[in-house]
Amino acid sequence: MVKVYTIDSTPEGEGIVSVYLVVGDRYSALIDAGPSNGSSRVLEFVRRLGLGVDYLVLTHVHIDHGGGAGALSRTLGSRVFVHPRGLKHVVDPSFLWEQSRQALGPVALYYGEPTPVESSRAFQIEDGALLDLGGVTLKVIHTPGHASHHLSVYLVEEGLMFSGDSAGVFIDGSVRVPTTPVPLKPKLYIESLERMIAERPRRVAVAHYGVVEDGLGYLRWHLEEMRLWLDEVSRIVAMGVVDPVDVAERLAERLDNARIARSSRISHLYYNTVAGITRAVLDGEWP
């Protein structure tokens, strides 16, 4: 019988970054590691259950989701699985950390510098790969767009999709928006959503934050919302507004969800999202 736990890996706070623990009859797996500064919270949760962790599957290596992978895998003895394009960045996260500091500023310091994964514990995992935990199967689905190295994990028997950041965020019950920093590939993002929809999941577990009960409905809604944001930003850019901050302000005037996100506690995600969409539009990635 499978058990699924939601672990709050938010540093010094609550309800921003999710990590999931899936326990089968024989093996267990963490979906994501959370940020480096939140790894102690994940470790405490696992130890309180008296469990080991055999596998650590990263949806992507961004510092708020993969930053704690080194510390956790070393302490728990886990094997770390990651998209082939992300493998080098978990073994040596120095370039990732530098890029994160430039892009996120003080938010990067809040999440903390990522800890490297020992090369003997790091493995790439291919699209369609299956992990048998004993009575339950994790199916890996490569879902690029948010990042070129993004993957999602489908818990087949439970109809539960761990979407990472490939299906936006759902925080505080009212903030439901994309999360698409530079370099966004919008057409790949939409194709990835369509792949997840094709699995017809009953629930979706997002990385920011927690489980959405109407999984299929949420993915379908998010697909249309993403197209709406892309089209609206395209219209704003066509008017000659190209600075991402200015675009974000204009978008918040036009769309309720953008306005809600801008005024929420994840406003930094909102501005990074609009920056990603703006750059994609300017680069001819959309429409």
Domain that holds residue 83: 3-158
Rounded Cα gap, residues 277 and 244, in angstroms: 9
Whether 211 is covered by a domain: the verdict is: no
Whether 145 is covered by a domain: the verdict is: yes
Task: Give residue 269's pLDDT.
Answer: 94
* Nearest Cα to Cα of residue 193 among 170, 158, 224: 224
Whether 84 is covered by a domain: the verdict is: yes
Domain tally, the chain: 1
Task: Give residue 1's pLDDT.
Answer: 84
Task: Give residue 187's pLDDT.
Answer: 98
Task: Give residue 13's pLDDT.
Answer: 87
Task: Give residue 279's pLDDT.
Answer: 98
Task: Give residue 202's pLDDT.
Answer: 98
Q: Which helix (H) or strand (E) holds 215?
A: helix 215-238
How would you write 254-277 as a 3-class SS string?
HCHHHHHHHCCCCHHHHHHHHHHH
SS3 label, residue 1: coil
Whether 59 is covered by a domain: the verdict is: yes
Rounded Cα gap, residues 260 and 9, in angstroms: 24
Q: Do you find a cis peptide bond into 116, omega within 30 degrees of 0? A: no
Whether 24 is covered by a domain: the verdict is: yes
CA distances from 169 to 54, 94, 140, 180, 229 (A): 28, 27, 20, 10, 14
pLDDT means per 10 residues in the chain (287 residues)? 96 95 98 98 97 97 98 98 98 97 94 98 98 97 98 98 98 93 97 98 98 98 98 98 98 97 95 97 97
Whether 262 is covered by a domain: the verdict is: no
Q: Which segments within the chain are labelled E, that is strand?
A: 3-8, 18-23, 28-31, 55-57, 79-82, 122-124, 130-132, 137-142, 151-155, 160-164, 169-171, 175-177, 203-206, 210-212
CATH number for the domain harbouring residue 152: 3.60.15.10
**Which pairing describes strands 28-31 and 18-23: parallel, antiparallel, or unpaired?**
antiparallel
SS3 label, residue 151: strand
Q: Token digits for 232? A: 């609206």
Whether 253 is covered by a domain: the verdict is: no
pTM, rounded to two decimals = 0.97
Task: Give residue 60's pLDDT.
Answer: 98
Whether 235 is covered by a domain: the verdict is: no
